[in-house]
Amino acid sequence: MALTISESGGGTFETIPKGRYKAACYRIVDVGTHNETYEGETKKRHSVFLYWELDEKMSDGKPFSIMKQYTLSLNEKSALYIHLCTWRNKKFTEDELKGFDLTNILGCTCELEVEYTSGGNPKVTAVYHPEGGVQKIATVNTQLAFDVDEYAADNKQMCDVFVELPEWVQNKIDESFECVAASKKESEKFAPEDKAGFESLETLADDKKSIEDQIPF
């Protein structure tokens, strides 16, 4: 069998029409802190990727999946805060803002508004409270959460999760300030004070309440 390659390369991918879809979160990936430039200004941004699988199926019977990058912050103006509030259909309490366990959203149902960028890529523009309320369900895709700080500290569980991630996500994690500092190869680029103002999954989850206590998050 010949291995044929064309000018476009990359293969053919199924796309989903824009619209509103039932979905469930199956993966949370803390990719760490990176320099990002927007409108000519460079800032450090601690990011997290959320992944959902949709009720809509591809031709092979597997669910469509989609991800969105967020700044890891519960500031009331952040996209993550806004989307979690519309997902939960309620605002955060003061206690929750002191330490919210983001991993509690794994397996939780919602509705997503999917649109397309000018470049033709699907994007999540809104997350809604699902009809009938949020439920915690089993997903087709394996549910997992990755914490960059634990990985940088050589936590075995996080190292095992790391190998399950796509290569481009692995590369982004390894390029994070957290991992560069931990490797001691370029530790001078990331002094401890540089992390001020950024929260990790661990600090968002100081109060480790069980999923049952948060009904469901």
**pLDDT per position as a tens digit, 123-136:** 999 999 999 999 99
C-alpha–C-alpha distance, residues 138 and 53, integer Å: 11
Please, what is the average pLDDT of the chain? Answer: 85
Query: pLDDT of 184-211, one tens digit each?
Result: 654 554 455 554 444 556 545 444 444 3
> Which of the four pLDDT bands, split at 50, 70 and 90, describes residue 44?
very high
Lowest mean pLDDT among 31-40, 43-52, 108-117: 31-40
Average pLDDT over residues 169-174: 97
